Structure formats: C-alpha cells, structure tokens
Amino acid sequence: MNFFDHQSARRRQSVILLACFLLTLLFMACLIHGVVVGLSMLLGENSSLMQPSAPALGLIALVWLTMLAGGFFRFLDVRGGGAVLARRFGAVRASDRSRFDREQRLLNVVAEIAIASSTPQPDVFVLRHESSINAMVLGADEGRHVLVLTQGALDTFERAELQAVIAHEFGHIDNGDLPLNMRLLIALGGLMAIDEVGRLLIGKTTASRDEPVTFHPGVIVGYLLRGLGSIGVLAGQLIRSAFSRQREYLADASAVQFTRNPIAMATALDIIRQRDNEPLLHGLHAQELAHLCFQSGRKPPWYKRLFASHPDIQSRIDAIEPHFEVKRRKLDKAAQQHGAH
C-alpha cells in the first residue's frame, strides 16, 4: 500500500468531518434561537425574531449555560491525566521487573516503536484481568500519554502482531487524535447535558400514577430541551462516529509506516475477526472506552453501523493489505514445508 497517499486522504476526510461537527454546533445555535423565540412569539411575548424578549433571552442563556456546564464537567473527567484514568479502569503499570515475561516484551516493543515514530515513550499499563484483545491510548496533553493493553492481547499476539497494534496506538498519538477526541468529547458532553436537564425537568414536574396530572411550565421547557438535545446528540454522535472511523484507518496506515509490515497488521486484525463473538471489553467501562479502543468488539447490526466507532475489520484489512488471504496462504505453505524439513 502507498501509506502516505492513504494518510493524506484520511486526513482530508477527517477535516471535512470536523467541519461538519462545527457546522452542527452552529446549526444548534440557530435552532435554539429560532425555537425559543418562535415559542415566545406564539405566547405573545415577542414581535421580532431578531429582538427576543427578556424571558426568551433568559431561556436561550439557560440552554447555553447548560451546554457549557456539561462540557466543563466532561473536561474535568480527563483532567487528571492518562495514568489516573488507566488506574480508574483497573489497569496496573507494566514493569520490566515484572514476573510476567510478556510485560517485559511489551515494554521492549513500546520502546522500539517510540524510536521508529519519533514519539516520546508513553507510560504503559496492562489490564491484567481482561481476557479480550484490545489496546488504547489515554490522556490529552503532551507528555501525559498512557498506553493500555489488555492481558488477552499480550497472551494472543506474537511479537510482530504486537508491534503492529502498538504502532497503531502510536499512530493515534502522532496524528494528534487524543486532543482532538477530547474536544469532540467535550462538545458532545455539552449537547448531552441539554437532554439530561430536559429529562430532569420532565421527571420533576410529571405527576405519579396515583396523583392527578397538573400542568407546569417546566414540562414545556423540559420537552423543549429534550427535543433540542436529542437533535444535537444524534447529529454529534453520527459525525463523531464517522470521524472516529476515519482516524482508525489513518492509525492503521501510520502503523504500517512505523513497522513497514502490513502483513503483521492484517494478521492481528484477522485474529480479532476470528474471535468475533468476544465483547469489546468485559469490564463496566466498555461503552465509555469504545472510541478509544483498537477494535470495537462484536460486529454491530446493520441499523447501528452508522454509529459504529470503528470500521468493519475486513475493510481495515483490505485498506492495508488487499491481497492478505493469498499472501497468508503462501506464508502458511512455506511454514509447513519448513516444518517438514
């Protein structure tokens, strides 16, 4: 594969998707203004769309403060850095003095890929009780990156496949995906906050089954916020998922650049494909970490593929090594002949 051309194409597609996300936020701003002022005009409070009344301005300000608060609290979640997050998810630091030989091999591979990619070496953690195959990088600021690998990946991959997976994660670092993903995460957190406040207002103002239903203005505001939040979250998730899929392709191409071994990358993906009934992770944080992982677990049904955080594994294999099946058969045949001798 010509990975430099492949990288350039994926970067252009990522820029387009990022622009779409920003346009979504702009559309949400216009939608919030239009809906709130329109509702105010129906109630006789407003005479012009460009000159909202004081109550309308107050509701618009409430919506924007809700978005800002949601984004701020999401930012605080990752402020502690990658090591704090890794420990929170149950990972432990890998050590070259560990009694586990595979952890020593992992640290050696990380050091090799750091040199090949001209990237500062991250801290390395292992999810020792996680049997699924996966890897991720955590952290948002320079110098605070952490690479996390599951025990299943350590136990399953040979050295070449392990190099490819580690190189993929270094590709995310080298391509600047972590700060960009955090900004998208903060923006989506703000959009989700609108929906959450709407749920709260509706829940607090709706009578129980044994009580008569009484009208309260909070119900209207709650449904309004839920409607606006749902539109924003849906659009934001669609664009973020599409963006994430492009960055996975780009990280695969970067892995080939760093290792010069597309067969190893394709083999690692093929091993994961053969275990397609295995979940993303077995822990409680699986969905939270889905966009950060090397692979997304079970293949989603067709109606959920637009929201999938990763491309189909076969598509990833075809992108880096279109003739993988032919080359693998040749390699297997050569290995059998060598073993016979």
- Catalytic (active-site) positions: 169
- Contact status, residue 243 vs residue 10, Cβ threshold 8 Å: no
Place of tokens 């899929």: 245
DSSP SS3 for 60? helix
Q: Answer yes or no: are the C-beta atoms of 155 and 275 closer than 8 Å.
A: no
Count of residues in the chain: 341
Report yes or no: 26 and 49 within 8 Å, Cβ to Cβ. no
For the CA atoms of 244, 195, 80, 292, the dihedral, rounded to the nearest 10 degrees, stands at -20
Residues 230, 238 contacting (CB under 8 angstroms): no
